[in-house]
Amino acid sequence: MQALAERYEAEIINFDRDKEVDRICETMREVMRTKLRRRGVVVAVSGGIDSSVSAALAVKAFGAKKAFFIQLPEVDSAEDTQSRGRQLIEHLGVDHTTHNIAATLDAIGCYRARDEAIVKTFPEYGDGWKNKIVIKGGLDGQVNHFMLVVQDPQGQQHEKRLDLREYLQIVAATNYKQRIRKTIEYYHADRLNYAVVGTPNRLEYDQGFFVKNGDGSADLKPIAHLYKTQVYALARHLGLPESICNATPTTDTYSLPQGQDEFYFALPYQEMDKALWARNIGASASELAAMLGITEEQAKFVLQDIDNKRKTTHYLHAKPYLIEAMPELGL
């Protein structure tokens, strides 16, 4: 049992940071040179750890003059994430723009569609209320299902299970945010003849925690192979501002603060990294249980949940299916 924790420590925690940074930067340059053939990169900077590290790696690979950063806040974006984004941009000294997407989201009906579904669950919901979605079930062997948490203007929180139709409508509406952001990223990429950098870490990429044609869309994903723990390690190694290195991962998508583990993952990221790694090396539930200090049954459910999410989100990774192969296009 101890061996597993030691192996994780050796392979994942104590990885050679210099070597990894060199490998990523060299691969990014190689891809740009031989596949993408663009002059530089666009990175949407959210203030979170993943986009910050991806942005820093892009600057290291191509230089500050070949990068363009964008901040894309809307009404539910937290002020502290925007402020961290500004610190990063200043720290890396890259040309940038800020495009507040609230008016676009309003015009397309994002907030209206979301609130319509919330009101079906909480009829009293209205101005001054806040909301978020919380996942339940995965750690208890239940089918994952979703709770809507709202906070009234007096600060009192209320929680109800979401009916499927309302859940799907809230998610579909909020997905506008990631898709509008991507539209703007590609506007700038097209304008500059740049490529777009996608910023998922391994947990997000593996478990399908992204919006298809939204944050899932990019030309290059430099940290998709890195566990979140490793992304934090690289942030420190690259000397990013302290506020970014210490930031707690949030979705920054709902008006109430929402941890990624509340919305999507069965466990906080440190444990999810270990669980995903254990799954990838074929470790047993009992080994994982000992490593995480949870029961063997819970470990079994966590491993099952990883497999279920892979199955459920596989289509998000997939290219459109064709009726017949087109080898002349390499498809």
Partner 1 sequence: MSTEATIRNYILENYLFTDDQSALNSTDSFLDKGILDSTGILEVIYFLEDEFGIKVEDTEMVPENLDSVDNIVSFIAKKRQ
**Which residues contact partner 1 (rule: CB under 8 A)?**
136-137, 141-145, 161, 163-165, 167, 308-309, 311-312
CB nearer partner 1, residue 29 or residue 165? 165
Ramachandran angles phi, psi of 131, nearest 5°: -150, 160
Contact yes or no for 309/207 (Cβ under 8 A): yes
Quote the strand ranges of 179-239, DSSP E: 195-196
Structure tokens at 330: 């390499």
Of 94 and 272, which CB lies nearer to partner 1 in the complex structure? 272
Largest CA distance in the chain: 63
Secondary structure (3-state) at 42: strand
Shortest gap between Cβ of 45 and partner 1 (angstroms)? 31
Residue nearer to partner 1 on the CB measure, 142 or 213: 142
CB-based contact 54:43 (threshold 8 Å): yes
Q: Which residues of 26-53 are buried (b: 16+ CB within 10 A; e: fewer)?
A: eebeebbeeeeebebbbbbbbbbbbbbb
Residue 245 β-bridge partners: none
Q: Shortest approach of partner 1 to residue 6 CB, angstroms?
A: 34
Q: Specify whether the CB–CB gap between 167 and 133 falls below 8 A.
A: yes
Least Å distance, CB 311 to partner 1, is 5
Cβ proximity to partner 1, 163 vs 261, nearer residue: 163
Least spacing, CB of residue 208 vs partner 1, in Å: 10
| Minimum CB distance to partner 1, residue 139 (Å) | 13
The first and second tokens of residue 239, run together, are 């000397």
Instruction: Tell me if 300 sits within 8 A of 139, measured CB to CB.
Output: no
- Output the six-digit token pair for 72: 């894309």
How far apart are alpha carbons 145 and 305 in whole angstroms? 12
CB of 210 to partner 1, least distance (A): 16
The nearer residue to partner 1, 86 or 120, going by C-beta atoms, is: 120
Beta strands 41-44 and 195-196 are: parallel
List for the chain the helix, strand, coil content (%; round to 5). 55, 10, 35
Beta carbon nearer to partner 1, 194 or 264: 264
Q: Shortest approach of partner 1 to residue 312 CB, angstroms?
A: 4
Q: Could you tell me which residues come within 8 angstroms of residue 46 by beta carbon, excluding any fewer than 6 positions away? A: 71, 72, 81, 85, 252
Q: Which is nearer to partner 1, 27 or 142 (CB)?
A: 142
Minimum gap (Å) between residue 310 Cβ and partner 1 = 10
In the complex, what is the shortest distance from the CB of residue 330 to partner 1, in angstroms, rounded to a whole number? 28
Q: Which is nearer to partner 1, 126 or 141 (by Cβ)?
A: 141
| Measured CA distances, 87 to 80, 82, 219, 239, 327 (Å) | 10, 9, 25, 13, 47
Q: Which C-beta is closer to partner 1: that of 84 or that of 279?
A: 279
Q: Residues with Cβ < 8 Å from 164, sequence gap 6 or more?
A: none
DSSP H/E element including 147: strand 145-151
